[in-house]
Chains A and B, each alone.
Chain A
Amino acid sequence: MTAANNQASRYDPAFANELYSIENGHYIKQCMQCGLCVVTCPARHLMDLQPRKYFKAIQAGDRDRVLKANTPWLCTSCNLCTVRCPRGIPIIDVMHGMKLYLAQKQGVKSAPGALFSKTFFDVMLKRGRQWEAWLTQMYFLKAGPSAIKDALKMMDVAQPMVLKRRLPLAPAKTIKGKSQLKKIYEKAAALAKEGH
């Protein structure tokens, strides 16, 4: 029964239980696979596993698929799925919990999508608001040589955006009271460490 043993690892309750124990993870258990989240999700066409299948893979304890999926990193927190879920699963919170879990588990560099989120956040914290041109440059530099190739491929998108001032090259103004923003962040980070 080697086949059985191989397959049984897919339905690995230990891995499922590990994910159920992360913040808001227990909600994943009550997904009934209706698919309403998928039909409302604006980013579904970009996800390797759409939310319904992602939850199913977690319930099945399918470690490989869950760890490889870009699903939580593409979640834009638009809240549509959460509003519609008939089982009352706070999907964006679950996705947030998954991001944290994956970043801690895999490291920011290797988790797909984690690096972009981290860079986004760092730029934001530094100036108090987003500076898209800087963000893209930072992201592609951090991501390494292969990513720079990807970046060059996207020049046809970037150029018109610059012309239409959607991607300003000049730095945006820093906000007033930046130091307070930093304090807020530090407080939140401290609370998170305590496990709140």
Chain B
Amino acid sequence: MTKKQAVYFCTGCGLGEALDIPALVKVAKSEFKIQDVKEHPFLCGPEGVALIKKDIEAGVNTVSIAACSERVCYDVFNFGPSIIVERIPLRERVAWVQEPGDEDTNMMAEDYVRMGLSRAKVTELPEPFLVENPSKTILVVGGGLAGMTAALEAAKAGYDVVLVEKEAQLGGWAGKVYKLPPLVEPFTDLAENNIPALAKAIEDNPRIKVYTGATMESIAGGPGVFNAKIKHGGGTAEEKVGAIVLATGARPYDPKKLTYLGYGKTNVVTHAEVEEMAKNGKLKEVKRVAFIQCAGSRDPEHLPYCSAACCVETLKQAVYLKEFNPDAQVYIFYKDIRATGKYEYFYKAVQQTGAVFIKTEIPGVQVLEDGGKLAVAGKDIILGEDVTIGDLDLVVLANGMQTNAAFGEEVVLEDAEAEAAAAKEEEAAVKLDQIIKSNMLNLVYRQGPEMPALKYGFPDSHFICFPYETRRTGIYAAGVVRATMQVPAAIEDATGAALKAIQCVEAVARGEAVHPRSGDISYPEFNMNRCTQCKRCTEECPFGAINEDEKANPLPERTRCRRCGTCMGACPERIISFKNYSVPMIGGMAKSIEVPEEEEEKPRILIFACENDAIPALDMAGIGRMKYSAWVRVIPLRCLGSLNLVWISDAMSSGIDGVMLLGCRHGEDYQCHFIKGSELAEIRLSKVSETLDRLGLESERCRFHQVSIMDYYRIPKLIEDFVAKIDELGPNPMKGF
């Protein structure tokens, strides 16, 4: 495509008063030889847009808009897929954060124009990567409550579903209970177990193909082109599917580990055993019962987390006991009753049955034998005294749940480990994902066969922004395999995951990325001639999107890609690039900044900021009219993981005095939308000090900060601190070379 460029300056929103627009026009005309440069006082208004559209009709195909941030008016300045639009954020990142009319302010604006136009010069229109005959079938692994709900919801929305259940019958754990907790308003009465009805609906649905007594042998490919092999009835069935819902559920915590709460004594049972007794009518003779909550849960020695469902299960079983025997007396030893949401009404209703709630410390209660009966002793921390409830027929332990994803050996990638050990000697190694061979999916992925976990074996997702996602594109975890939850939450979760799976197959069919870059059609391209088989891209991809052949050549699975560019940042040979995002492009932006001579005493600081959180924070600082130093220039990155070290060394060698990286929080409570990006960037930055030493520069000239969107008020302070440090270090000695 031959580019016909045009540049538009908006003089509204105070830009015209704050900036010397003719000087900026001159930059575009003389430095970038663009003759089509226009000004408008209200560019996002109908007249302004009409002005641009008229030029487009006359042949302009690359539009640079020097006005507001790319985060606003993106719909107004969308001229269709064949027009390149480059936004130069003079408003939020210059005019609103600098003194109007100042010389330094205008220099800053000129640099933003240079950066924008140098980017516009090299960027290309992306073309979508389309797979042949993408499958829109959704594979649901696990036929419990969540799995069946997801299958039915997807089928109702008009998608074919393959449902795989390892037991001979559908139903899972919820299928084995006597009754379910309340599911509808007013949340006070138990619901009949509707699982058999759900199973029947599935069997009757022509869109749903069910494999019972089946497990996943392997899953290869990526979204739209998954090739799933299902071990079934002694043979193997093959299905081509587009997306996967993982709903393999959880199992009760092993009560044999609960001997400290009396498990093993006669008539000390678990929730599951009470369900069995209820179904067999054995609760009729039971008169006095004590429940012990948090049996194993919220205990660092056992399950450190809250199992979420056991409080409501106990309340439900307290109702069973009254139903079978109206004289039954129930005692509940608890730490906190976590009947969340509308289950508060259920809690209240169960209190009305006369059940006695005793707040105590667990562990700390003892189960004693009391002449053929049982007794529970503990401390009532509200009345502040010891209490023993004796003459009990039954003690029920509310044992929590453990995700099925947590069972199995941890995957150790042999070569990766050997390399990591070697790497440790010279540099901080990237932490590998924890993957447990739980035999649920058996993915044919270079990075391991199952979902990566963050804590306690639960498949990890970006907890705040994308709870249904996992770290494997097109695979959505739902229900208690993903996190502990109550029944209504599992139903909601399954519905959400089904919708996500539908979005995924549709996006793949259009060649678009799924979240967080929804709708992005660019994708990384590998110039394999120069690949050195170093495996950094295959190891560092947070989504396992790149497989390897036996010679360690990367084999990108395009539909698994989320377009973060982490591979681009990792590649030492810089052979990975997107049509509209590449190492030379960002490098060119950095180099286009005009660096004044040393004696002018105008230092230059480059900020690489993550588009997801740091850029919005910078924009919010602008909207709040906070002032910061005029020495900084900001370049947005898709993710800090795409940061290539060559940009820093190039910037330094061209005389930039300091480089600051603004990325998301990483670690256990990470906020990075691409999971590991900001962490990788910080690790890479630790390596750059070596390069700086070679250039004879102080490593303090580079700094990394974790910011979230809420940290906008800290931005000016972070910048001022860094500017003070740079002043202390003095100008970059490379200036003028």
Q: Tell me which residues from 469 to 498 in chain B have a Cβ below 8 Å from any Cβ of chain A.
A: none
Interface assignment of B594: CB less than 8 Å from any CB of chain A? no
Are B388 and A4 in contact, CB atoms less than 8 angstroms apart? yes
- Whether A33 contacts B382 in the complex (CB less than 8 A), given A17-B354, A59-B357, comes out as yes
Q: CA A61 – CA B337 in complex, angstroms?
A: 21
Pick from A11, A16, A29: contact of B387, CB below 8 A. Answer: A11
Interface residues on B, range: 20 to 34
Across-interface contacts of A31 in B (CB, < 8 A): 351
Contact surface of B with A, Cβ cutoff 8 Å: 329, 331, 337, 347-348, 351-352, 354, 356-359, 368, 370-371, 375, 377, 380, 382-383, 386-391
Q: CA A56 – CA B382 in complex, angstroms?
A: 8
Q: CA A10 – CA B375 in complex, angstroms?
A: 15
Q: Tell me which residues from 65 to 104 in chain A have a Cβ below 8 Å from any Cβ of chain B.
A: 87
Are A7 and B388 in contact, CB atoms less than 8 angstroms apart? yes
Q: CA A5 – CA B391 in complex, angstroms?
A: 9
Are A53 and B383 in contact, CB atoms less than 8 angstroms apart? yes
Q: CA A52 – CA B381 in complex, angstroms?
A: 13
B79 to chain A, nearest CB (A): 55
Q: CA A59 – CA B386 in complex, angstroms?
A: 16
Are B387 and A59 in contact, CB atoms less than 8 angstroms apart? no
Q: CA A13 – CA B357 in complex, angstroms?
A: 12
Please, which residue of chain A has its CB at the minimum distance from the CB of B390?
A4
Please, which residue of chain B has its CB at the minimum distance from the CB of A62?
B383
Given A11-B387, A57-B383, 18 more pairs with CB closer than 8 A: A1-B371, A1-B375, A1-B388, A4-B377, A7-B389, A8-B391, A11-B358, A13-B329, A17-B354, A30-B348, A32-B337, A33-B359, A33-B382, A52-B382, A53-B383, A60-B356, A60-B383, A62-B383
In the assembled complex, 11 residue pairs joining A and B whose CB atoms fall closer than 8 Å, in A order, are: A1-B375, A1-B390, A4-B370, A4-B375, A4-B390, A10-B387, A11-B387, A13-B356, A30-B352, A57-B383, A60-B356
Interface assignment of A134: CB less than 8 Å from any CB of chain B? no
Nearest 3 Cβ contacts at the A-B interface: A4-B390, A4-B388, A7-B388
A153 to chain B, nearest CB (A): 32
Across-interface contacts of B356 in A (CB, < 8 A): 11, 13, 16, 59-60
Interface assignment of A120: CB less than 8 Å from any CB of chain B? no
Pick from B352, B375, B377, B389: contact of A29, CB below 8 A. Answer: B352
Pick from B368, B370, B380: contact of A60, CB below 8 A. Answer: B380
Chain A interface main SS type? helix
Are A56 and B383 in contact, CB atoms less than 8 angstroms apart? yes
Across-interface contacts of B389 in A (CB, < 8 A): 7-8, 11
A183 to chain B, nearest CB (A): 39
Across-interface contacts of B347 in A (CB, < 8 A): 32
B188 to chain A, nearest CB (A): 12
Across-interface contacts of B382 in A (CB, < 8 A): 33, 52-53, 56
Are B351 and A32 in contact, CB atoms less than 8 angstroms apart? yes
Please, what's the 1-or-0 string for A19-40, where 1 marks a CB less than 8 Å from any CB in chain B?
0100000100111110000000
Across-interface contacts of B370 in A (CB, < 8 A): 1, 4
Q: CA A165 – CA B387 in complex, angstroms?
A: 53
Interface assignment of A3: CB less than 8 Å from any CB of chain B? yes
Please, which residue of chain A has its CB at the minimum distance from the CB of B329?
A13
Q: CA A30 – CA B359 in complex, angstroms?
A: 15
Are B354 and A29 in contact, CB atoms less than 8 angstroms apart? yes
Are B354 and A8 in contact, CB atoms less than 8 angstroms apart? no
- Whether A8 contacts B388 in the complex (CB less than 8 A), given A13-B354, A29-B354, comes out as yes
Q: Tell me which residues from 35 to 60 in chain A have a Cβ below 8 Å from any Cβ of chain B.
A: 52-53, 56-57, 59-60
Please, which residue of chain A has its CB at the minimum distance from the CB of B330?
A13
Are A26 and B380 in contact, CB atoms less than 8 angstroms apart? no
Across-interface contacts of A3 in B (CB, < 8 A): 388
A125 to chain B, nearest CB (A): 38
Across-interface contacts of A53 in B (CB, < 8 A): 382-383
Q: CA A7 – CA B382 in complex, angstroms?
A: 15
Q: CA A60 – CA B381 in complex, angstroms?
A: 12
A40 to chain B, nearest CB (A): 19
Across-interface contacts of A13 in B (CB, < 8 A): 329, 354, 356
Q: CA A62 – CA B358 in complex, angstroms?
A: 13
Q: CA A56 – CA B356 in complex, angstroms?
A: 10
Q: CA A189 – CA B347 in complex, angstroms?
A: 38
Please, which residue of chain B has its CB at the minimum distance from the CB of A28?
B351
Are A20 and B371 in contact, CB atoms less than 8 angstroms apart? no
Are B354 and A5 in contact, CB atoms less than 8 angstroms apart? no
Across-interface contacts of A11 in B (CB, < 8 A): 331, 356, 358, 387, 389
Are B390 and A8 in contact, CB atoms less than 8 angstroms apart? yes
Q: CA A11 – CA B344 in complex, angstroms?
A: 24
Across-interface contacts of B329 in A (CB, < 8 A): 13
Q: CA A60 – CA B331 in complex, angstroms?
A: 10
Are B359 and A26 in contact, CB atoms less than 8 angstroms apart? no
B186 to chain A, nearest CB (A): 13
Are A30 and B386 in contact, CB atoms less than 8 angstroms apart? no
Q: CA A7 – CA B390 in complex, angstroms?
A: 9
Are B383 and A26 in contact, CB atoms less than 8 angstroms apart? no
Across-interface contacts of B357 in A (CB, < 8 A): 59
Please, which residue of chain A has its CB at the minimum distance from the CB of B349?
A30
B224 to chain A, nearest CB (A): 50
Across-interface contacts of B351 in A (CB, < 8 A): 29-32
Please, which residue of chain A has its CB at the minimum distance from the CB of B288?
A13
Across-interface contacts of B371 in A (CB, < 8 A): 1
Q: CA A57 – CA B387 in complex, angstroms?
A: 13
B387 to chain A, nearest CB (A): 6
Q: CA A52 – CA B384 in complex, angstroms?
A: 13
Q: CA A8 – CA B357 in complex, angstroms?
A: 14
Across-interface contacts of B358 in A (CB, < 8 A): 11, 60
